[in-house]
């Protein structure tokens, strides 16, 4: 059997088995392990997950935008989180539907790099928003009298712009760096969406600066943000332990419960997947895939539920908005 010759991305065209023409190599998307023969079984859960994410996060954004009483920093950060969740779930959806609904696994280089950029950019934005929300809790609990002067509307807006710039600027180089690499004409990815580590592993060879820059981005974002969040909560815990009343301690800590849950939901699958990969423990193929899906799909669906259950103001405003909308639609 003849060996496949490496294909240079910028100068050749690849043709998939079904006759579709792609610029550069073809990347083969993988479905969920164990369901390769019937990938359509996951089509409904994927669609339902995206619809729930869109409905939940869209409602949160709509209520925060239209209700002036929810223009406080804590709610504005919640709106940023909802926007990031919408962007992340939308970036992942196309190739997942391609695999699970149409059983089509080929994706061209340009489409793969575009999805890769948006997935990682929105992931970094969400991590940055979680860090900003931890800072909000830190100021509210440790410096309550200066809260309004520290987190002004203009400062919150600047934080939002910085979050967007950080997510985009750090990942703009990735598509250009990856286009310089050489791949085999047909290379299988590990998931039903394109991620930077997967694409890098499929390169025949490439400049060492690509991997070095990738490590810099990971450590300066997903590595640094959780550490700063933990340090923020250590500072919060020290302040709370200085409160004499146990009831007051519980009341103050309860304001952080929702944010802690969201942080654990976002980082735990990613850290577990990273540790399992480093330890090289023999695992069933479905476990890494499940952890990856949990990391990308669970937060956009569960975050709105967690915050709406915990934040009475948001829950009441949503109920009021929905009741008002229903009355208008029925002419009441």
Does this model's pTM top 0.85? My answer is yes
Q: Comparing 316 with 63, which gets the higher pLDDT?
A: 63
Residue 97 CA, distance from chain mean position:
18
- pLDDT above 70 covers a percentage of the chain that reads 83
- As given in the structure block, the two tokens for residue 315 are 């829950």
Residue 76 CA, distance from chain mean position:
18
Q: Is the pLDDT of residue 283 over 80?
A: no
Q: Is the pLDDT of residue 251 over 70?
A: yes
What confidence tier does 205 reach under pLDDT thresholds 50, 70, 90? low
Average pLDDT, stretch 205-225? 79
Is residue 239 within 8 A of residue 142, CB to CB? The reply is yes
Number of C-beta neighbours around residue 150 at 10 A? 14
Is residue 112 within 8 A of residue 178, CB to CB? The reply is no
Question: By three-state DSSP, how is residue 280 classified?
Answer: coil
10 Å CB burial of residue 31 (0-12, 13-18, 19+) is buried
Q: Comparing 246 with 116, which gets the higher pLDDT?
A: 116
Nearest to 136, CA basis, from 255, 277, 8, 282: 255
Question: By three-state DSSP, how is residue 3 classified?
Answer: coil
**Per-residue model confidence as pLDDT tens digits over 104-150:** 889 988 999 999 999 999 999 999 999 999 999 999 999 999 999 99
Task: Report the pLDDT value the prediction gives residue 158, as an integer from 0 to 100.
Answer: 97
DSSP conformation letters of 105-159: -EEEHHHHHHHHHHHHHHHHHHHHHHHHHHHHHHHHHHSGGGHHHHS-HHHHHHH
> From residue 284, how far is each of 35, 232, 273, 288 by CA, in Å?
14, 37, 13, 8
Task: Report the pLDDT value the prediction gives residue 17, as an integer from 0 to 100.
Answer: 52
Q: Is the pLDDT of residue 332 over 60?
A: no
Q: Is the pLDDT of residue 16 over 70?
A: no
Nearest to 129, CA basis, from 87, 91, 171: 87
Average pLDDT, stretch 243-257? 86
Is residue 81 within 8 A of residue 130, CB to CB? The reply is yes
Stretch among 224-228, 248-252, 312-316 having the lowest mean pLDDT: 312-316
User: Under 8 Å CB-to-CB from 53, ≥6 apart: which residues?
Assistant: 85, 86, 89, 297, 300, 301
Distance CA 79, CA 75 (A): 6
Average pLDDT, stretch 80-102? 93
DSSP conformation letters of 35-87: -TT-GGGGHHHHHHHHHHHHHHHHHHHHHHHH-GGG-SHHHHHHHHHHHHHHH
What confidence tier does 3 reach under pLDDT thresholds 50, 70, 90? very low
Q: Is the pLDDT of residue 299 over 80?
A: yes
What confidence tier does 186 reach under pLDDT thresholds 50, 70, 90? low
The residues pairing with 21 across neighbouring beta strands, listed in sequence order, are 15
Average pLDDT, stretch 283-301? 88
- pLDDT above 90 covers a percentage of the chain that reads 43
Average pLDDT, stretch 254-266? 91
Average pLDDT, stretch 22-34? 77
Task: Report the pLDDT value the prediction gives residue 243, as an integer from 0 to 100.
Answer: 83
- As given in the structure block, the two tokens for residue 274 are 């990273």
Encode burial over 97-113: b for 16+ CB neighbours within 10 A, e otherwise.
bbbbeeebbbbbbebbb
Question: By three-state DSSP, how is residue 8 classified?
Answer: strand
Per-range mean pLDDT, top range of 80-94, 193-207, 295-309, 315-329: 80-94
Domains of the chain with CATH codes: 23-330 (1.20.1070.10)
Task: Report the pLDDT value the prediction gives residue 9, as an integer from 0 to 100.
Answer: 46
Average pLDDT, stretch 164-172? 95
Is residue 134 within 8 A of residue 141, CB to CB? The reply is no
What confidence tier does 184 reach under pLDDT thresholds 50, 70, 90? confident
């Amino acid at each position: 059997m003849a060996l496949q010759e490496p294909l240079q991305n910028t100068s050749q065209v690849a043709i998939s088995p079904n006759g579709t023409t792609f610029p550069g190599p073809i990347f083969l998307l993988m479905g969920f392990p164990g369901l390769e023969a019937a990938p359509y079984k996951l089509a409904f859960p994927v669609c339902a997950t995206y619809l729930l994410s869109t409905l939940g996060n869209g409602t949160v954004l709509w209520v925060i935008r239209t209700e002036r009483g929810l223009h406080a920093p804590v709610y504005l950060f919640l709106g940023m989180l909802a926007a990031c969740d919408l962007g992340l779930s939308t970036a992942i959806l196309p190739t997942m539907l391609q695999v699970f609904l149409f059983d089509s696994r080929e994706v061209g280089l340009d489409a793969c790099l575009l999805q890769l950029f948006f997935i990682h950019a929105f992931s970094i934005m969400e991590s940055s928003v979680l860090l900003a929300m931890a800072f909000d809790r830190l100021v509210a609990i440790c410096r309550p009298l200066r809260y309004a002067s520290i987190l002004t509307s203009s400062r919150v807006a600047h934080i939002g712009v910085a979050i967007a710039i950080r997510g985009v600027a750090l990942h703009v180089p990735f598509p250009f760096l990856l286009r310089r690499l050489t791949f085999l004409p047909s290379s299988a990815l590990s998931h039903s969406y394109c991620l930077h580590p997967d694409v890098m592993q499929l390169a025949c060879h490439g400049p060492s600066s690509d991997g070095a820059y990738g490590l810099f981005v990971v450590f300066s974002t997903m590595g640094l943000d959780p550490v700063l969040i933990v340090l923020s909560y250590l500072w919060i815990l020290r302040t709370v332990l200085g409160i004499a009343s146990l009831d007051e301690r519980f009341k103050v800590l309860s304001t952080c419960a929702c944010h802690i849950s969201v942080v654990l939901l976002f980082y735990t699958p990613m850290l577990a997947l990273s540790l399992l990969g480093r330890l090289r423990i023999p695992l069933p193929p479905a476990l890494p895939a499940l952890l990856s899906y949990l990391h990308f799909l669970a937060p956009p669906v569960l975050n709105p539920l967690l915050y709406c259950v915990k934040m009475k103001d948001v829950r009441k405003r949503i109920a009021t908005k929905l009741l008002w909308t229903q009355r208008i639609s029925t002419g009441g």
